[in-house]
Structure 1
Amino acid sequence: MDETTPPELFNPLQRFGQDIKRVRLGRKLTQKHLGTATGYTDAYICMVESGKQKASEKFAKGCDVAFGTNGLFEGLLRRIDEGEHPSWFVPYLKLERKASKILTYETNLVAGIVQTEDYARTVFRVSNPRASAEGIEDKVAARLRRREVFERDSPPLLWVILHEACLRTVIGGAEVMAGQLDYLRTVAASPHVELQVVPFSAGIPATSTMPFIVLRFPNSPTVLYTETRVGARMHDSEQTVDAALDDYDRLRARALSPDGSLTLIKTLLKEYRA
């Protein structure tokens, strides 16, 4: 990004950074001045203004104090986090950021939290055929930001179960699929992630054929998230959540082991690269 880049080609973080820079220059402040006022280094501010670093909530609040903008940048940052997601997904997103365990089962598409940029872009283009290029890029950036939960001091345990159909449904062509499967290999190597694949050979799933996610928390009730074409629901009744956890246990039992799942992923990766 440079000064000649049209604003419509900026992603949300770049637009936020340009707004910070515009107001800072309007107030005749250097990056060092702003850094002193907010408690951040001028190098950090340079990264934020260039769109290479997502601003922290503390920094956004500090800018509002330094500029006298009365919560403007704090609000902009919040809208970056939530604005590119459907309104019915935002409540789930807030809970996902607080979860200690995320258990997800997918039947047709790779789970959103572990999608690559190219894979996500293709999914959004297909599901939003009338969206502008800028709108698609905003959605992609918002999806990739979900990975930030793993940057916490105590990241959640993510357990991903994918039906083999997720790996064989070609999204964006062989090159995109190869990149996605290669990323799944990287993800699976993390100590905070368990990845299993339910193979076609396992037959009809022993449980629901619909995707679902279970969120667990240290000191709050477990929540079940389900989604349809017209919206989503979160369930916290003990009976409903317990049934979903039983289903998840059955899926784990029918799935390949983590090592066996990686072997299948590597085999398919070779096919896509060929």
Structure 2
Amino acid sequence: MANPKELDPAESPQAFYGAELRRLRLAKGLSQEALGALVFCSGAYIGQMESATRQPQKDLSERLDVALGTDGHFTRLYPMVTRSRFADYFTAVRELQEMARTIYEYDPVLVPGLLQTAEYARAVFRAFDPLRLAVETDELVSMRMERAHILHSPTRPRYWVVLDEAVIRRVTGNARVMHGQLAHLAQLVRSNRIVLQVLPFSAGGHPLMQGSLTLMTFVDAPPVAYGEGPYRGQLIDDPAYVENCRWAYDLVRSAALSHEASLALIEAAAEDYASEQD
């Protein structure tokens, strides 16, 4: 793995942990791969912790102390890192999406960012902050559109999304924006870029009623879960928590319409929005 980005250790406890891990690893003359072998994880995972992209685990912190002879240093830092889990959360999510082998998403309200059109994204940002300057909104939209390139690259992750029917029925922007957004989703499905299901209103209650969920898996690092609410998100890679999230996602997926029925529903809704423009 490439050398980690330069960190300001004062930026956050997680950045301090990563900077300390790199400093002490290099002091021992160990590569990321060599240290990973000593603590039973991949060198890439060591690199992700050093760049503050991934949070460390308690048991891994203990093994790092043994391997590096740091007398409990990382074990003592670990609680500080977990208490700061909301700091710069989405910067880490963006970086992890670039590295993910698979991405699974559920959203009860909005089309996820990777799938948004520019007009839909602009309507979302305006709704979130009606007083934001237009130039700032344009910059945010541009950044969001740039992120979507991962769905079109040769090494793109396998992407599976479940959308609540409310995402289709609630008008974001106007009928023209919704038509363009749903047509875009249909095109992504038909070009085999994504797998998409719609969770219909008739499905009733389910385990993810209270918020969105993203699950990511990687070739050489443990999976992570990310949940989001107003103004903040939570990125967690605790194995038990991630497993519970995966179970909840599977239950929601099993209650959703089939891939084919979901596509038909989205295309029908797109036609309805198109007719509203006439």
TM-score, reference length from structure 2: 0.65
Show the counterpart of 2:23. Answer: none
Aligned match of 2:115: 114
- Asked if the contact 2:212–2:229 (Cα under 8 Å) also holds between the matched residues in 1, the reply is no
Residue 190 of structure 1 and its aligned partner are, at CA, apart by: 3.1
Equivalent position of 1:172 in the other structure: 173
Alignment-derived partner of residue 255 in structure 1: 256
Contact 1:198 1:254 in 2 (8 A): yes
Report the RMSD for the aligned CA atoms in angstroms: 1.4
Q: Does 1:205 align with 2:206?
A: yes
The superposition leaves residues 10-62 of structure 1 with CA deviations (integer Å, 9 ceiling, x where unpaired) of xxxxxxxxxxxxxxxxxxxxxxxxxxxxxxxxxxxxxxxxxxxxxxxxxxxxx
Map of 1:221 onto structure 2: 222
In 1, are the aligned partners of 2:99 and 2:218 still within 8 Å (CA)? yes
SS in 1 for 2:89: coil
Q: State the match for 1:74 in structure 2.
A: none
Alignment of 1:31-70 (within 5 A): none
Aligned partners of 1:164 and 1:198 also within 8 Å = yes
Question: How many Å separate the matches in 1 of 2:265 and 2:152?
Answer: 28
* 1:17-32 matches, cutoff 5 A: none
Q: Report the TM-score, using the length of structure 1 for normalisation.
A: 0.66
Q: Secondary structure at the match of 1:97?
A: helix
1:89 alignment partner, SS class: helix
Residue in structure 2 matched with residue 126 of structure 1 by the alignment: 127
Answering whether residue 243 of structure 2 is matched by residue 230 of structure 1, we say no
Q: Percent identity?
A: 34
How far apart, in 1, do the equivalents of 2:139 and 2:161 lie? 25
C-alpha contact (below 8 Å) 2:108/2:209 kept by paired residues: no
Cα contact 1:156–1:192 (8 A) shared by 2? no
Superposition deviation, residue 205 in structure 1 = 2.2
Counterpart secondary structure, 1:90: helix
Residue 89 (structure 2) aligns with:
88
Residue segments in structure 2 that go unaligned for 5+ positions in a row: 1-86
- Helix, strand or coil for the counterpart of 2:268? helix
Q: Flag structure 1 segments of 5+ consecutive residues without an equivalent.
A: 1-85
In structure 2, what residue type is equivalent to 1:106?
D
Structure 1 contact 225–233 (Cα < 8 Å) conserved: yes
Contact 1:158 1:193 (8 Å CA) reproduced: yes
Q: Distance in 2 between matches of 1:168 and 1:103?
A: 22
